Homo-oligomer: A and B are copies of this chain.
Amino acid sequence: MAFKTDSAKKYLKEHDIKPSTIRIKVLQYLKDNKHHPTVDDIYKELIEDIPTLSKTSIYNTLELFLGKNIVNLVSIDDKESRYDIDTSAHGHFKCKSCNKIYDFNINTSNLGEEDIKGFIINKRKIYYEGICKDCLKSS
C-alpha cells in the first residue's frame, strides 16, 4: 500500500468528498493499481479488507469519484467499464492479443478540431487497438 491513508483522506477532502473507509480504500486501490481496474477487480481486492463490502458500494463510490472528476471512465472494453485515476490527457491502447491496456501520451493541440469549433469540450477519450510490441515479438 504505497498510497497512505492520510494522503487519501487529504486528497478526498480537497476534492470535496467525505473520506469514508470505503472511499479511502477505493482511492488507495486506484492510486496503487493504475492498470485500469474493473469494478470486480476492486471489489475482489477490497473484500479481503472489508468482509461486509457490497459491490454496489464500489459502483456508488466510483460514480461519486466520476462526478467529482477524480477518475475517468475507460470504455475501451466492450464488456465492462474500467476506471483510471490518472486524469491527465492520455490515450489508451488495447492489445487484441494479450488484452493489456497501455497508456500513451497525446498531443491534442494540433489534432485539428475545426469541425467542432465553438463547442465546449469537456472530455477527450482516445482509444486505440491493435497488437503491442511484446506480442509482435513473440509471434
Give the size range of A's interface with the partner.
35 or more
Q: How far is the CA of A63 from the CA of B5 in the complex (A)?
A: 46
Copies of this chain, complex-wide, total 2
Closest B residue to A105 by CB, please name it.
B115
Given contacts A119-B132, A121-B128, A126-B126, contact A104 B96 (CB under 8 A): no
Closest B residue to A77 by CB, please name it.
B75
Q: How far is the CA of A113 from the CA of B104 in the complex (A)?
A: 7
Given contacts A126-B126, A130-B120, contact A104 B108 (CB under 8 A): no
Chain A residues engaging chain B, CB cutoff 8 angstroms: 73, 75, 78, 81, 93, 95-96, 102-108, 110-116, 118-133, 136
